[in-house]
Amino acid sequence: MQRLVGVLFLLFVVLGVNACGEPHGDAREVVEEFFEKLEDEEGLEAVRLLHPTFRDSLARDIKVPIRIADLKPSQAVACVLVTMGSAVDKVEVLDTKGDENRAEVKVRTVDKEGIDRILVFEVVKEKDRWFITDIKPAER
What lies within 8 Å, CB to CB, of 99 at 6+ separation is: 23, 24
Does the residue 11 lie in any domain?
A: no
Q: How far apart are the C-alpha atoms of 48 and 131, rounded to whole Å?
A: 8
pLDDT at 16: 42
**CATH code for the domain in which residue 73 is found:** 3.10.450.50
Total domains present in the chain: 1
- Residues 18-55 have pLDDT tens digits of 434 455 678 899 999 999 998 999 989 999 999 999 99
Residue 104 · residue 96 · CB < 8 Å: yes
Phi, psi torsion values for 94, nearest 5 degrees: -90, -40
Does the residue 50 lie in any domain?
A: yes
> pTM value?
0.77
Does the residue 43 lie in any domain?
A: yes
